[in-house]
């Protein structure tokens, strides 16, 4: 039986890596990922704070000051607020813009992806839904943190004191392709209090179990057929050449100072 290009996916299994490498490999997948969609799972070792593309220093000063020793800082090539990548699982999807997940309105593409993540979370007894117009207990002004600010398409569920955000996502669209990455909170993190998490305390195997659940949902609900692989030679080479950039002083400077390298497209 033949399969369509839309149903054929590459899977980059769960891997821990430095913040710079994680950002650079996502960028390489956006540029070089090819005709098939790519699903990737990763964590940060050591943990790190990633700033949104447009964030200024004043927005994240408190978060950066509170970072534990040894936790790095990078700036993403996607927008949104800062994320502390410690007690979480990150996923990314790189695909052509005409892939069924991303056709049409941008907001609708977030809803489709979040619907798949919500189905995976249900395997763990979590009733995650799109926020819509509801108010959240996790909203906190002035922290600069992604999980303290929400949009109508964010995934939310019961947090420590009420309905709270538990998944943060962002996209970058360039040259007919899209990179969508998202952070799923696994257990509480002191730098991001009040958010929804998958478990009340740390569980060593939880990231791997959630990644496996996501794969099952993509197979069941999208009809995805996965081929497990590492990064291609070209993707790895590009990521290696770019990894240091994401934590560099030039990239961490405000956008108005021209930190974006020549030839790169602005964030969507």
pLDDT tens for each residue of 65-110? 999 999 999 999 999 999 999 999 999 999 999 999 999 999 999 9
- Residues near 118 by Cβ (< 8 Å), separated by ≥ 6? 128, 129, 130, 155
Tell me, yes or no, whether 267 lies in a domain: no
Give the pLDDT confidence score for residue 3 in this predicted structure. 60
Question: Are 50 and 76 contacting, i.e. CB atoms less than 8 angstroms apart?
Answer: yes
Q: How far apart are alpha carbons 174 and 32 in whole angstroms?
A: 11
Tell me, yes or no, whether 265 lies in a domain: no
Task: Provide the whole-model pTM.
Answer: 0.93
CATH number assigned to the domain comprising residue 51:
3.30.930.10
Tell me, yes or no, whether 138 lies in a domain: yes
Instruction: Please give the residue range of the domain that contains residue 171.
Output: 8-257
Tokens of residue 29, six digits: 């997948």
Counting the structural domains of the chain, the total is 1
169: closest CA among 150, 187, 188?
A: 150
Active site residues: 146
Tell me, yes or no, whether 262 lies in a domain: no
User: What are 15-64's pLDDT values in tens digits?
Assistant: 999 999 999 999 999 999 889 999 999 999 999 999 999 998 788 898 99
Tell me, yes or no, whether 148 lies in a domain: yes
Tell me, yes or no, whether 3 lies in a domain: no
Tell me, yes or no, whether 41 lies in a domain: yes
């Amino acid at each position: 039986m033949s399969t369509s290009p839309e149903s054929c996916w590459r899977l980059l299994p769960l891997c821990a890596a430095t913040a710079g490498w994680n950002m650079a490999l996502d960028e390489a997948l956006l540029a070089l990922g090819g005709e098939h969609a790519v699903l990737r799972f990763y964590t940060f070792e050591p943990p790190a704070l990633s700033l949104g593309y447009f964030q200024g220093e004043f927005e994240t000063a408190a978060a950066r000051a509170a970072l534990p020793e040894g936790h790095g800082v990078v700036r993403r090539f996607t927008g949104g607020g800062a994320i502390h990548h410690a007690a979480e699982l990150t996923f990314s999807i790189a695909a052509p813009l005409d892939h069924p997940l991303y056709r049409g309105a941008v907001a609708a593409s977030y809803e489709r992806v979040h619907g798949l993540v919500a189905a995976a979370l249900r395997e763990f007894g979590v009733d995650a839904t799109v926020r819509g117009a509801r108010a959240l207990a996790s909203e906190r002004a002035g922290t600069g943190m992604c999980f303290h600010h929400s949009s109508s398409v964010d995934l939310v569920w019961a947090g420590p004191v009420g309905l709270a955000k538990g998944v943060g996502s962002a996209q970058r669209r360039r040259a007919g392709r899209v990179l969508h990455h998202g952070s799923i909170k696994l257990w509480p993190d002191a730098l991001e209090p009040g958010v929804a998490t998958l478990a009340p305390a740390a569980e060593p195997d939880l990231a791997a179990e959630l990644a496996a659940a996501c794969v099952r949902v993509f197979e069941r609900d999208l009809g995805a057929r996965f081929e497990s692989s590492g990064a291609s030679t070209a993707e790895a080479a590009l990521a290696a050449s770019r990894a240091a950039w994401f934590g560099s002083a030039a990239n961490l400077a405000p956008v108005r100072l021209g930190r974006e390298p020549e030839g790169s497209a602005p964030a969507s």
